Amino acid sequence: MSIRRSVTPPRRTSVHRLGALRLLAGAVVGALLLTGCVSAAKPKIVPPTTLSSHTDEQVAPELEPYYKQDVSWAPCLDPGMQCADLIAPVDWANPGGERITLAIAKRPAESGKARGSMLINPGGPGGSGIEFLRGFQGSKGVMSDYDVVGFDPRGVGESTPIVCFTDDRDRDRMLSGTFRDPYGSAGWEKELDTRQKAWVDACVKNTGPLLAHIDTASVSRDLDMMRAVLGDDKLNYLGISFGTYIGSVYAALFPAKVGRMVLDGAVEPPYGSFESSVRQAAGFDRAFAAYLTKCLKSADCPVQGPLAKAKKQAHDLILTVDRKKLKASDGRLLDSSTVVDAIAYNLYAEFSWDTVTEVLRAVKKGDAGPVFEQADSSNERLPDGEYFGRLMDVLVAVGCAEPTRDDSPGLQEGIDRISKAAPVLGSIGVYDNFAASEKACAHWPYPKPTETLDFTAPGAAPILVLGTTGDPATPYSQAVALSKLLSSGVLVTHKGEGHGAYGRGVGCIDGIVDDYFVRGKVPASQPTC
């Protein structure tokens, strides 16, 4: 059920690299791992320090238990980080009802004199902000001036989680299982529908009331509560990929409370529309073409040029696995959609393109192992078969919960339109991403929020919107559209490849963002780097 997600791309680390791929309006995990570390427990290893740092702003009496709560910080396992838990209502419209826990972590300002907090989110939906913080490297000025705070959104990581399948074998069948009948056949569609209904039923059974309130507006209200509890009058925020949508929703709900906000790898509101799925599929095909163009300059490229020939060879090569019955060492059968997962996972950043070559070579050799290794990382699956996160559950649940445009043309027309827009990778992956989300959401039992949001965010302070011209997951056109939609949006363009621009070694981009966060300097024009 691979749904393209919107997350921070994988980074090189001294540990193993964990996942990022899929989204519907932009892709995930990767999010989860964005930093290359498996989530660790955060034991309270010393007595906590309780700080009454919340703001003095007036809120409704029923909200005071949340906005006026104290923070008990304690050292995390990670050196230099402090962790805490906050409480929030399951339903912000019924704050006296059931409660959930929200996990947060911070790296205190290196100067010892923080000007305030800067909250960060890596995307997803379902990416862990605490994991992101573990590997976060902002500028010297940002790390000196701000307490940098990561948070696990509701349903994610160390916060009160979404729980769907509890047996890893069920998750294997959902995320990388093959079908009895060919993709596109009546038998395939029936089996997909049965699988997706079983997933929804498991989520409802094992998660409880939280599942009905997993939408981004609820997350944004959690974010505003965090801002107040941390003692900030306005929200300073860095959102990447789907994290940009969280920022956009926050600005729509609380425009007067926007401080310094940067949205990098932008998702255009509303989230999850069919047209955004088409653009994303086309974006991954464009990124694959860029990879092939570079690959063809190498003597050991697994396909041959010119480019049009290489595209067809790669497409046909991927499809061969459906008849070869290649198996992993644990007995799992490899199918073409899993190959697309493994490739797309490594298109988020140019430094991963060599791994795409390794995947294609493995397919040519009939070796399923390297392909599953990459697809499993995308799905947060460890080599022993255990899943270390539930990002894919959150990804699909949020997609079903969001009050998006009702623009889906239906299953078969949707498959046809995506296949036409992205004939190389998209025409194969569409059966696991678009089709799977369509079937899952058809069984979603909860009504969608009806609140109307004004995404122009009138009165908000200047918001920087970063877009990369070769971004596969959230195509550049979305950054352009979001910057125009926001009443105070300022577009910053990075000419290059990959998903996300800040903190990836692009000096011009880093300088603009740092000037903004540290000195409050807003670009006079719409700069291009």
Residue 405: which pLDDT band, with cuts at 50, 70 and 90? Answer: low
Name the residue among 5, 59, 54, 60 with its Cα closest to residue 31.
Answer: 5
Task: Identify whether 159 is a catalytic site residue.
Answer: no
- Highest mean pLDDT pick, 8-12, 189-193, 379-383: 189-193
Residue corresponding to tokens 């790898």: 265
Percent pLDDT > 70 in the chain is: 90
Task: Give Cα 202 to chain centroid, integer Å.
Answer: 23
Is 289 a residue whose pLDDT tops 90? Answer: yes
pLDDT, tens digit (0-9, with 9 covering 90-100), for 351-364? 999 999 999 999 99
Mean pLDDT of 311-315: 97
> Tokens representing 81?
């980080």
Q: Which one of the listed residues 6, 241, 336, 352 is annotated catalytic?
A: 241
- Identify the burial level of 289 via C-beta atoms within 10 angstroms of its C-beta, where 0-12 means exposed, 13-18 middle and 19 or more buried: middle
The C-alpha atoms of residue 44 and residue 261 are separated, in whole angstroms, by 32
Q: Encoding tokens for residue 267?
A: 């998702």
241 is catalytic: yes
CA atoms within 13 A on the CB side of 148: 28
Tell me how far apart the alpha carbons of residues 204 and 210 are, in angstroms, rounded to a whole number.
9
Whether the Cβ atoms of residue 231 and residue 53 lie closer than 8 Å to each other: yes
pLDDT for 73-102, tens place per residue?
Answer: 999 988 889 999 999 999 999 999 999 999
Q: Where are the beta strands (DSSP E) in 276-422?
A: none
User: Which range has the worst mean pLDDT, 50-54, 252-256, 309-313, 433-437?
Assistant: 50-54
Q: Which of 159, 483, 499, 510 is catalytic?
A: 499
Quick one: 1-529 is in which CATH superfamily? Alpha/Beta hydrolase fold, catalytic domain (3.40.50.1820)
CB atoms within 10 A of CB 279: 20
Select the more confidently predicted residue: 376 or 23.
376
Q: Which of 222, 232, 471, 510 is catalytic?
A: 471
Parse the chain into domains and list their residue ranges. Answer: 1-529
| pLDDT tens-place string over residues 474-488 | 999 999 999 999 999
Least confident of 364-368, 445-449, 466-470: 445-449
pTM of the model: 0.89
* Residue 335: predicted pLDDT: 95
CA 240, 245, 251, 254 dihedral sign is negative
Q: Whole-angstrom distance between the N-terminal and C-terminal Cα of the chain?
A: 37
- How is residue 178 written in tokens? 């093959």
